[in-house]
Structure formats: C-alpha cells, structure tokens
Structure 1
Amino acid sequence: MSPVSGIIAVVGTRTASDQRLRDLALLRRVRDRIDRDYAQPLDVPALARDVHLSAGHLSRQFREAYGESPYSYLMTRRIERAMTLLRRGDLSVTEICFQVGFSSLGTFSTRFSELVGMSPSVYRRDAGRLAIPPCVTRKVTRPIRNREAPLPTTPLP
C-alpha cells in the first residue's frame, strides 16, 4: 500500500467515525426533546426537520440506536407518565389522557392497554392496592411492547 492510500484510508475511517458520533448526538437531541416535550403534539417529520434529517433516516437511525422507533419511544414516555398520574389518583382518566399529550380518550386507552396489558381504570384500581415504593413500581412496570421484548438467549427447559 502506498503512503498516500494509507492516509486516505485513515482519513476515510475517521470521517465515518466522526459522522457516526454526529448522528448519535443528533439522535440524543431528538430523544431528549421527546423526554422533555412528550405532552406536546410531536411527530416524526417535525422531529426530523429539527435535526435536519429525513423522517425515514431518523426513524432507521433511532431504531438502530435505541431499539424502538421515535413514535414508539414517544408513546412509551406518555404511557409511563400516565401510569405515574394514575397511581397518584388525583386526576380523572380523561384529564390524564389530555395531560400526557393524547387528543383522544379512545387512542389513549388503546395504547395504554397495548403497552400495560390492562385499561387505565383497571390499572388505577390495582395500583392503588399495591404498597410498593414508586421508584420500584416504575422500574418493574415499565411498558414493553411484546414484539420488541428481547428474546431469551438460553433455551427454556
């Protein structure tokens, strides 16, 4: 290999690595915005415009980095917040629905049931009877989509 081609190979590798780091920083900005503004009307094209990426590229890169699409991540954040508010019990299910960013009670109930496995009102009733500290409850009851849950690495007996 000539000295010039070796330099080009090193520069090309460094550029690809630098680009990957820039992409990860952009993805972190998107994730942080979702975490911060989960109750606001957010959609993938708007999130992509904010970081100067196409919606498709953002979705692919986000899924590769975080294991779920930006939309799924947003829904998970909203449902987690709703779970917290339901455990407190001081707001109605409808008020919680709108407070966490849903515009339809039906959509909220459907998404909640998909992720948690029970309706919001059943969750509120059952969560009220549990005497588990909130930090433990959040960790244990974090919603996971069945099709996105990791498969076991060892075969079951």
Structure 2
Amino acid sequence: MSMLEPSQALLGNIKDKRADVTIAKITVKPGEWKTPASSNVSLALTLKPTAATKVKGNPQYLKPMPMGNISLCPLNDSRVFEFTTETAFAHITLSDALFAPLLQGSRVTRIELISRDILEDATLRKMAAVLLQQKRDCFQAGALFLDSMATALSSYLVSKYSTVSPLEAAVTGGLAPSTLRRCIDFIQANLSRSIRLDDLARESGLSTSHLVRSFRQSIGKSPYQYVLELRTQRAKSMMQEGHLGLTDIALSSGFANQHHLSRVFTKLVGITPSRYRAGLPE
C-alpha cells in the first residue's frame, strides 16, 4: 500500500520523519482507497484484519489481509482497492539515500523490489512493528537506533526482495584498530548529544551498512548497543557523585529523559536507577 492522497479523510493518522525513513499510521474506512504512485521504496503492515479487492491495475478477486500482513509497494504505480471493513496500516517509506551504499560497485542505479500485496514475513513484520512503536514513543530510543533500524531494513529488503542483487561484498575481519579507535573517540566525545550512524560512517570511511557489520565483528555489539552501555556507565558515575537528580543525569548522559534512562538502566544493570543510587555508600 502507499500513502493516502491529501484530499482523502484519515482517522487517527500519525506521521513523522526522522533521517531517511518516514513512518505513518493510516486508518482507512470501508470502500475504495487510492494509493498514489510513489517514487520511493515503501511497505505497509496491516494493523486491523480486513479483505480487499484490487479494482484498478490488474483487478483481482477478494483477498483476506490478516493482521501482520506485509505489502511491498510497486514504484511509480497508482492502484485502487476496495476494502470490506475499516482497517489500518503502518506505512514506512525509505529514501534512496538508504540504498545508495548497497549500490556501490555494482551496475545497478536504482533499487526495485518485487511488489507484493499479501506477504507473510516475520522479520519484516517485527521491523515494521519496532519502527511504528518508535513513532508512538516519539523516537525516544534516539537517532542512532532509528538509523540502525532503517539501515537493517533496507539491507533486508534488498537481500530478500530486490529484482537484482547489488549487496556489498561480505565483510570480514572487523574494523582496523585505528578506525575503531576513531569511532570510539567520536562516541565518547559526543555521548551526551544525538549521535547519527552517518557520523560514525564518516569517521570510519565506510558505508553505514558496512560500518554496522564491521563494528559488531570488532567488539561483539552494534554501535547502538555500545552507545547505550557507555551512557549507562556515565549515568552510574554521575550517581556516585550524588549531587544531580535523575532527570539531569539522564540528559547529561545522552538519554532522552528519565524514563528512557530508567528503562535502559534496568535492562542493562538489573535494577532501577533509584535502587542503584540507594545502594551506594554514603
């Protein structure tokens, strides 16, 4: 599915853009629904089960669309569907910039996916659900997490559903020690700020997808996981100093807010920040 035209009424829509991915929730009433032609790779996750008939563009018989169904949208192709009941979709659009690193060294100039109206793919379903939840949480996990998810999603789509196979060659050996040091130094110097995957890619001289794989091979975790661990360590150190509140500690450590700190801290340390602080020696 693609986005509704602006003239069509939407119920409870939410839409936002961060980096190279646009995430929206779209509610559609029974009846005809037009999907305008899109020049970007996009997919939709069915949030409410329904059934639909394609009435324009290779008409089809009525087909059930269960909750969790994935639709891969064709490029530059407008379609019209007839829905039997009210339904809702999570719609995700990916910019060409996400796919550019995957085209390096190949003769392919543009990614094209094999479009599917009805597709069962547990991995895609999980990725789409995570991105939608991030939208609902106002992207609390931060830009680095969203960049990493968008990069993983674009790589997965190309590996599974591209009409060609332009993926980068397999990465072996991880990052060179000097390159890894530059990345780590950059992270530590900018820990309290929003760190982007593009920033680390520039430090390393690699594409974002290459960087993520090499970084994980070098230290056994993704850049996002590494950043969370460093931010948690900083928060623990600041709690030991004892003069700042948890909100200030959260912001100074690079977390979105105190709730974000508490959620990550509890997961990594095993107890809440309040309990950790209460157990520190006077």
Q: Same fold (TM over 0.5)?
A: yes
Structure 2 partner of 1:80: 233
Distance 1:72 1:21, change over 3 A: closer
Structure 2 partner of 1:36: 189
Q: Alpha-carbon deviation of 1:60? A: 0.8
| 1:10-33 alpha-carbon deviations (Å, 9 max, x no partner) | xxxxxxxxxx79833222210111
For the residues of structure 1 that align with 2:235 and 2:253, how far apart are their CA atoms?
Answer: 6
Whose radius of gyration is greater, 1 or 2? 2
Structure 2 partner of 1:126: 279
| 1:13-58 alpha-carbon deviations (Å, 9 max, x no partner) | xxxxxxx798332222101111222112112232113333111111
Structure 1 partner of 2:74: none
Which stretch of structure 1 is more off in the superposition, 47-56 or 68-77? Answer: 47-56
Which stretch of structure 1 is more off in the superposition, 109-118 or 99-108? Answer: 99-108
- Is the CA contact (8 Å cut-off) linking 1:43 and 1:71 kept in structure 2? no
Structure 1 partner of 2:260: 107
- Is the CA contact (8 Å cut-off) linking 2:182 and 2:203 kept in structure 1? no
- Is the CA contact (8 Å cut-off) linking 1:82 and 1:97 kept in structure 2? yes
The structure richer in strand per residue is: 2
For the residues of structure 1 that align with 2:175 and 2:277, how far apart are their CA atoms?
Answer: 42
Structure 1 partner of 2:86: none
In the TM superposition, 1:3-152 aligns within 5 A as: 23-128=176-281
Q: Alpha-carbon deviation of 1:99? A: 0.6
Task: Normalising by structure 1, report the TM-score.
Answer: 0.64
Q: Which amino acid aligns with 1:103?
A: A
For the residues of structure 2 that align with 1:106 and 1:44, how far apart are their CA atoms?
Answer: 24
For the residues of structure 2 that align with 1:21 and 1:38, how far apart are their CA atoms?
Answer: 23
Question: What's the secondary structure of 1:127's corresponding residue?
Answer: coil
Q: Say what the alpha-carbon RMSD is for the aligned residues.
A: 1.9
| 1:109-140 alpha-carbon deviations (Å, 9 max, x no partner) | 100111110111110001236xxxxxxxxxxx
Q: Alpha-carbon deviation of 1:104? A: 2.2
Identity of aligned residues (%): 35
Q: Which amino acid aligns with 1:34?
A: I
- Of structures 1 and 2, the one scoring higher in RCO (CA 8 A, sep 6+) is 1
For the residues of structure 1 that align with 2:202 and 2:188, how far apart are their CA atoms?
Answer: 17
| 1:67-118 alpha-carbon deviations (Å, 9 max, x no partner) | 1111111111110010011122110000100011112222111001111101
Unaligned runs of 5+ in 1: 1-19, 130-157
Task: Normalising by structure 2, report the TM-score.
Answer: 0.37
